[in-house]
A and B are shown apart, each in its own frame.
Chain A
Amino acid sequence: MTRRLNPLPQIAMLCWAVVTSLPLLWAVVSSVKSDDEILNEPWSLPSTPRFDNWARAWSEANIGRYFLNSLIVVGGALLLTMLLGALVAYALARYQFRGNRLLYYTFVAAMFFPVFLALVPLFFVVQQLGLLGTYPGLILVYAAYAVPFTVFFLHAFFRTLPSELAEAAFLDGCSHAGVFFRVMLPLARPGLVAVGIFNFLGLWNQYLLPLVLNPDPDRYVLAQGLAALSVSQGYRSDWGGLFAGLTIAMLPVLVAYVAFQRHIRAGMTAGAVK
C-alpha cells in the first residue's frame, strides 16, 4: 500500500502538543526563576534554579495549608460520595419496589440543573445549619452534588452484573448488606474506579462552592487559595512565589496522570460515553 507522505498532519499534531504543553512548561520553569528573570527574560532558563520560591509558596503563602485543606475536604467528600452513591445505585438497580423510578429520577434530574440556580438558597441552608466555613459543611455539600452523577453511572453498571452470584450468597445465608458489601461491591470495582477518578478530579477542582460556602481563609481549599494568592502576590509582586504555588498545584495531578493515564482517561470520558 502506498501512501503519499504528507507532513501537514504531523505538523498539526505537533503544533497542538506545543500549544498545550508550552504554558505548563513555562510555569514550571518560571517557578525556579528570580523575579528579575521572570520580568525581563520570560523565555529564558534561570541562571541558577531557585527552589526557595517553592519553599516560600509552601509555607509563607500557605499553599501547604491549602493543599492539606483540599485533601481533607476532597478525601471526606469522595468517601461519602462513593458510599452513598453506590448504595443508592445498587438499591435502585437491583430491588423492585413502588417509587423506584421516581426516586431514580429525583436523584438523576439534579445533574441537569445549573449549580448557580441553587447557590443563594444553598448559602443560607448551610449558614442556618451552622456549617459555613467548616470541613463537615463542605464535605456534605460536595458529596450532595456529586452523588447524582455517581448514581447515574453506577446504576447502569450494577444492572449489568450477573445475579447468580448474589442469589448463591443469599442461599448461603448472607444478609442483604452482606451481599452488597462482600459480593456486589467487589464485582463493581472497575465502575467504582472510573467514577471515583471522575469524582476526585471534579471535587479537587471545585471552585464555585468553596468560594461561596468557605469564607474562612484558614480553611481555603487549593483553588481558592491560589485565586487569592494571585491577587495578593500580584500586589506584593512575588512572581516567583506565585509561579511556584501554581506549579505545586499542577504537578502532583500531572505526575499521577502520567503514571495512571489509561485508567484516568477511561474514568474521565466514561461519563460522556455512558
Chain B
Amino acid sequence: MRHGRWRFLLGALVPALVLHVVFVLSPYAQAFYLSLTDWTGVAGEARFVGAGNYARLGGDSLFLDAVRNNAVMLLVVPIATIALGLGLASLLRTRRGSAGYQIVYFFPQLLSLVVIAVLWGFVYNPNTGLLNSGLRAVGLGGLTKSWLADPAFALAAVMAVLIWSSVGFYVVLFRAAIDAIPAELYEAALIDGAGSWTTFRRITIPLVRESVQVAFVYLGIAALDGFAVVQVMTVGPGGPDGATEVIGLSLYRNAFTYGKFGYASAMGVALFFATLTLAILALRAGRKDRLELA
C-alpha cells in the first residue's frame, strides 16, 4: 500500500510539475535576469548591463506615456465598473425580469477581447460607425468625433470599451453577494422608513465589501493590461501619438518588433512590481476592514 501511494503521488504530480517548471517558472525566473542584460536574441551574446535598462525606462517618453495611461485606467476603470455593477445589481434585487436582464448584461463577458475590440472599432468609426451615425440621427451631429483618432478622446474610448465589457460580470458577482444578505435586514430597514438610497448605502455596500475588494484586485490587474483592446482597436496601435499606449504594448513592440529582449524584460519586471503593489495594497486594506467589522 505504501509503495502504491508514492507511485500514485509521483504519477499525479510530476507531469504537471515538469510543465509548470518548463513553461511557467523558468520563464518568470529568466525574465528577471534578462532585464539586466542588453540581449537582442542572439544565443550567448547577452551583455550584463546592470540597472541600465531600468535607467533607460525613465527616459523613454513612449513608455512614460504608457505608464501614465495605465495609471489613468487604474483610477477610472475599476471605480466606474464597480459603481455601475453594484448599482445595477442592487436594482435587480427586487425587480421582475431581473433574470432576463442578467442574461443580457453578461453577454460581453463571453466574448474575446479581440472580438470586442474589432466590434467597437466599427462602433467608433467616424463615418459609418454606430455611435456617430446614431448621434447624427438624433440631431446631436455636433458631438460626432473621430473617437479613436482624437488624442483627447482615444483613451476614454478605450476605457469605455473595457468598462462595457466587464460590468456584466460584476453585476452577476455582486448580485450573488447581495442575495446572501439576509432579507430581514432589508425588511427591517423598510419598516424603519429607510429609502432605497439609504438602504443601499447602509446595508448593501457594507455587506458586499469583500466582493468589492476582490473586484478591485481583478479590475486593477485588467486595467494594468489593456493590451488586446489597444493592439486591435487603436491607430498605430497605441496612438494617436501615444495617447493609448499601454505597458504591455510597449513590451510587445520592443521585444517582437525591435528585438530588444533585455529592455522589454525590464518593462515586464516593472509591470510585475506594479501588479504586486496593487495586490498587497488591496490585501492590507482587506485586513483592516475585517478588524473594523470584528
Binding site for B on A (CB under 8 A): 1, 9-10, 12-13, 16-17, 19-24, 26-27, 30, 38-40, 42-43, 84-85, 87-88, 90-92, 95, 97, 103, 106-107, 110, 112-114, 116-126, 140-141, 143-145, 147-148, 151, 175-177, 180, 201, 204-208, 211-212, 222-224, 226-227, 230, 242-243, 246, 249-250, 253-254, 257-258, 261, 264-265, 268-269, 272-273
Contacts and interface: CB of A to CB of B under 8 A. Distances in A.
Given A9-B95, A112-B279, A226 B114 contact: yes
Contact of B104 (A21, A148, A206): A21
A201 B106 CA distance: 13
A120 B264 contact: yes
- Of the listed residues B17, B20, B133, B248, the one surrounded by the most CB atoms of chain A closer than 10 A to its CB is B20
Given A17-B101, A265-B172, A117 B271 contact: yes
The interface size bin for chain B is 35 or more
B48 interface: no
A212 B255 CA distance: 10
Contacts of B211: 272-273
A179 B17 CA distance: 22
Contact of B17 (A40, A103, A269): A103
B91 A9 contact: yes
A28 to B, nearest CB: 11
Chain A contact residues: helix, strand, loop or mixed: helix
B111 A95 contact: no
B86 to A, nearest CB: 13
A24 B104 CA distance: 11
B113 interface: yes
A216 to B, nearest CB: 15
Contacts of B4: 175-176
A91 B9 contact: yes
18 contacts: A9-B91, A20-B104, A87-B13, A91-B13, A110-B20, A117-B272, A119-B268, A120-B264, A145-B23, A176-B9, A177-B8, A204-B112, A243-B122, A246-B115, A246-B119, A250-B115, A254-B111, A268-B109
Given A103-B17, A269-B172, A24 B119 contact: yes
A61 B251 CA distance: 30
A273 B214 CA distance: 8
Contacts of B64: none
B203 interface: no
B113 A121 contact: no
- Of the listed residues A13, A122, A250, the one surrounded by the most CB atoms of chain B closer than 10 A to its CB is A13
B167 A16 contact: yes
Contacts of B123: 23, 26
Nearest to A128: B43
Chain B contact residues: helix, strand, loop or mixed: helix
B187 to A, nearest CB: 9
B16 A116 contact: no
Contacts of B231: 227
B169 A268 contact: yes
B128 interface: yes
B96 to A, nearest CB: 10
A148 B24 CA distance: 10
Interface in B170-210: 172-173, 176, 190
Interface stretch (B25-33, B72-80, B144-152, B286-294): B25-33
Nearest to B6: A97
B242 interface: no
A24 B122 CA distance: 11
Contact of B27 (A13, A118, A269): A118
Given A97-B9, A120-B34, A227-B232, A208 B88 contact: no
Contacts of B248: 116, 208
Interface in B86-125: 87-88, 91-92, 95, 97-98, 101-115, 117-123
Contact of A116 (B26, B87, B91, B251): B251
B168 A207 contact: no
Given A114-B224, A116-B271, A147 B19 contact: yes
Contacts of A90: 12
Contacts of B113: 205, 207
A207 B112 contact: yes
A40 B133 CA distance: 10
B269 interface: yes
B5 to A, nearest CB: 6
